[in-house]
Structure 1
Amino acid sequence: MNFLIVLVAGLVPALLGMIWYHPSLFGKAWQNEVGHTDEKVAAMRSKMMLNMVIMIVFSIFIAFMLMPIVNHQWGVFSLLENQPGMHDDPPSNPDFKMMMDKYGTNFRSFGHGALHGLITGLLFVFPLIRLTTLWEGKSWKFVFIQAGYWILSLILMGGIICQWA
């Protein structure tokens, strides 16, 4: 596992958010949907650095969670968990070595990871956003702005992780 790539993938939501929520893209629509005035948005900028740090930390958590979703090879560890040598030195286990030699690079592309990011976004994150906003009275417009941002974030994160991690 390449932890640097996981950290890079964790930056994606912050970088994408700067574009997605820019006033010329979805920023004004989002602002209207949540009822923020220009003054409120300006006041929120005082907390921007702290919020960015929190966002990046939690986005790194998401990137770590995406690893076993986009890289099928992680399943080998689960299959062989209680086998001799798996805790101390997985490559010494003959079954692990055989499987990784034969299948270790299968499905390791940006496109494959992006597909799993899309599936995760559509079937997991989108429903969570809708369920969270359902009782808050948020509009479908708001839901689509938020879900679109997270689905695209997961597509990019999944692609990066699958290709390079």
Structure 2
Amino acid sequence: MDFLNFPAILVAAVSALVVGFIWYNPKVFGNAWMKAAGMTDEQVKGGNMAKIFTLAFIFAFLLAMTMTQMSIHQTGALSLIGGDSSTALPSYAAFMADYGDSYRTFKHGALHGVFAGIFVALPIIGTNALFERKGAKYIFINSGYWIVTLGVMGAIVCGWV
């Protein structure tokens, strides 16, 4: 069983940009985020958008690969045998025959993604924001984006079998 489903990882990476286009739209949280971040329209429009979106996609791709490890339990069994199933004992094949598709659903992946957002992204963003002297609104807007995005990413990489 191949756990690195590259089409799913690519779609999950693109989903981060799609969620961002919606989340940070001025009609959703865009204006509130700009105010909380201390950004102006000129600053937002003055950035090198090609560079920003290219790097954002690369970072999202890395996160999607990580969500594969965080949301698919069978990757733990694969890691126990050193990552090469061709050299595994017959017990590995029997285990995978019994449990290879267990918890491989969009719902389960979304749950792990939301947990990753709450227990990984929120503390990181919150800590950085505290030292940057940003307020709670800034923390919750950005953390909310990552909780939703990682939930979507987890759903895609775990459920796309």
- Match of 1:145, as an amino acid? I
- Structure 1 distance, partners of 2:43, 2:69, is 40
Q: Show CA shifts across 1:15-38 (max 9, x none).
A: 111111011111101111122222
Number of corresponding residues:
158
> How many angstroms apart in 1 are the aligned matches of 2:15 and 2:85?
34
> Superposed, which structure 2 residues align to 1:85-164 within 5 Å?
87=84, 89-90=86-87, 93-164=89-160
| Structure with the greater alpha carbon radius of gyration | 1
Where does the alignment leave 5 or more consecutive residues of structure 2 unmatched?
none
Instruction: Provide the secondary structure at the position in 2 that maps to 1:89.
Output: helix
Q: Deviations over 1:82-115 (max 9, x none)?
A: xxxx63725x631211011000010010000000
Amino acid at match of 2:51: L
Look up the match of 1:15. Answer: 18
**C-alpha distance in structure 2 between counterparts of 1:87 and 1:147, whole Å:** 36
2:51 match: 50
TM-score normalized by structure 2? Answer: 0.92
Match of 2:71 in 1: 70
Structure 1 residues 79, 12: closer, same or farther in 2, change over 3 A? same
SS at match of 1:32: helix
Among all aligned residue pairs of Structure 1 and Structure 2, give the percentage whose two residues are the same amino acid: 37
Q: 1:161, 1:130 → 2: CA distance?
A: 26
Q: Which of 10, 30, 34 is residue 33 of structure 2 equivalent to?
A: 30
Q: So what's the TM-score if we normalise by structure 1?
A: 0.90
